Amino acid sequence: MKSYIDKLLVSKVRKKLINFFIKDSSAELHMRGLVREISEEINAVRRELNNLEETGLLVSQKRGNRIYFKLNTKSPLAKPLRELFYLDDEHVAQLFDLTKDVGKVDALMIFENFFTQEYESDFDLDVLYIGDVDVSILNGVISNMEKKTGRQLKTGLFNRRDLEFQLKKYDDFLIHNLSKFKIFLIGSDQDLFKVKER
């Protein structure tokens, strides 16, 4: 069954290129390196690189005889595409489905670490729940997801009262995670700002 990314992006080569650069925003590669990386024909890669550069999503720089391509992180397309490609991950849908029975979830956030498994700090979370949930059911959900992903998930949980208290005192752990790139499966940034303003 095709994912929604496959349905949205007709060109398989374009999808692979976007996925490569979105998942590693610091990557810089020349055309032949990209051909090897995504296992596609050079002419198709050249055509799609030109298309993506025309949209402003990629930028290029000539070095010697080679042209290197990288993600233009300032492009207005970069963040929404990043979210879209991460949301296409099968584990995201599984986590969302399993969360339905844990209780009242005001916000469910997934952080980039969930996908990259790269952590800059001991504070870094994979998943953060906000709401009044049944902790034993949530533990079962996380345990189930850990089996599916084959690794331990760093998970945080705050009820509304605790969240408000920690935000008012600018808790380092919470501020660190909330300032990072995140995808809301439930709720939004606005919901968190409402708590801060009370």
* Residue ending a domain, choose from 43, 63, 80: 80
Give the domain range for residue 105. Answer: 89-197
Global model pTM greater than 0.75: yes
Query: The tokens 């090897």 sit on which residue?
Result: 36
How many CB atoms sit inside 10 A of residue 41's CB?
10
What pLDDT was estimated at residue 193? 61
Q: How far apart are CA 123 and CA 192, in angstroms?
A: 19
Whether 62 and 14 map to the same domain: the answer is yes
**In contact, 142 and 158? CB cutoff 8 Å:** no
Looking at the fold, whether 46 and 69 belong to one and the same domain comes out as: yes
Among the candidates 34, 59, 80, a domain finishes at: 80
- Residue 19: CATH number of its domain: 1.10.10.10
Q: Which of 134, 135, 132, 194 is nearest to 167 (CA)?
A: 194
Residue 30's nearest CA partner among 53, 56, 55, 49 is 49
Q: What is the pLDDT of residue 84?
A: 87
Q: pLDDT 10s per residue in the chain (198 long)?
A: 556 565 557 789 999 999 899 888 889 999 999 999 999 999 999 999 999 999 899 999 999 999 999 999 999 989 888 888 888 888 999 999 999 999 999 999 999 989 888 898 999 999 999 999 999 999 999 999 999 999 999 999 999 899 989 888 889 999 999 999 899 999 988 767 665 544
Task: Provide the CATH number for the domain around residue 157.
Answer: 3.30.460
pLDDT value of position 65: 92
The pLDDT of residue 108 is 94
